[in-house]
Structure 1
Amino acid sequence: MVAYRTVVVGTDGSKSSFAAVEGAARLAAACGAELVIACAYLPMQGPELARAQDQLGAEAYQVVGSAPAEDTLRTAGDRARAQGAVDVRSVAVQGEPVAALVRVAQESAADLLVVGNRGLRSLAGRLLGSVPADVARKAGLDVLIVHTT
């Protein structure tokens, strides 16, 4: 097996995505690779934000500026280092998750992109597409889908 040099992992702050971060961190540590933790965010404002918060409830953290992304990245970085990852970098990226993760992987010259499997088999995932399935189709590099649910 060829050792990976740069591993990118996506997180949205969910328990499932933190499990993916921990899996990516263990792999990066074993390979001596840099770990890049990415969090995509889509900021909203005004009435649109109020409606989203009402509808999303606990998931509303995903739609308010980059501050939640920065908090998520801080937590993810701590969890990654606890799994043995040494060379850890974090990046908050404005945009849709799939496009943001693929862009970060390209800009980082990553050899591996890691995502959790949340949404892979859900009804919404079948109808609207899921981050893991779309990343696997669009990334153009090795993708590891970590079983997190």
Structure 2
Amino acid sequence: MDAQRTVLVGTDGSASSFTAVERAARLAADTRADLVIVCAYQPLSGPELVRAQEELGEEAYQVVGSAPAEESLRAARARAEAQGAAHVQLRAVEGDPVTVLVRVARECSADLLVVGNRGLRSLAGRLLGSVPADVARKAGVDVLIVHTT
């Protein structure tokens, strides 16, 4: 793999995604690359939000609005800097995770897109598609799928 200039990593605030952030940060530090950390979010409100929170349980942070995304990004930055990443950019973007990651990778001319493997083997991943698998198919750049589970 050639030296990277820009490494992009997605996080959703989960422990699994923070493992991917740490791996991306080490790669960025080793190659002196910029690190772009992206959190896609899909806000809901009213009865739709209550229903989603009941059904999603601990995954509900993904549907509350941009505040949880900003919190996830701050936590991810701290983890990235602890791994030695020097040039860290944060982006909270409303939208579907796959669409957001692919679009931001193009916008920032990422050389490498890093995601965790969570969702690859789940029933929901098989039925609905998984972020890692869909990103790998659609990204148009090298994708590193980190074993996080």
TM-score (normalizing by structure 2): 0.98
Secondary structure (helix, strand or coil) at the match of 2:143 reads strand
Deviations 1:6-26 (CA, angstroms, capped at 9, x unpaired): 000000000000000000000
Residue 52 of structure 1 is matched in structure 2 by: 52
Unaligned runs of 5+ in 2: none
Q: Structure 1, residues 54-99: CA drift from partner, whole Å, max 9, x if none? A: 1111111110110000000000000000000000000000000000
1:12 counterpart SS class = coil
Give percent identity, aligned residues only: 75
C-alpha RMSD of the superposition? 0.6
Give distance in 1, aligned partners of 2:112 and 2:14.
21
- Alpha-carbon distance in structure 1 between the residues aligned to 2:58 and 2:148: 19
* Equivalent pairs, count: 149
* TM-score for both structures, normalised by structure 1: 0.98
Deviation at 1:122, TM superposition (A): 1.2
Amino acid in the other structure paired with 1:114: V
Asked if 1:99 corresponds to 2:102, the answer is: no
Matched with 2:26 is: 26
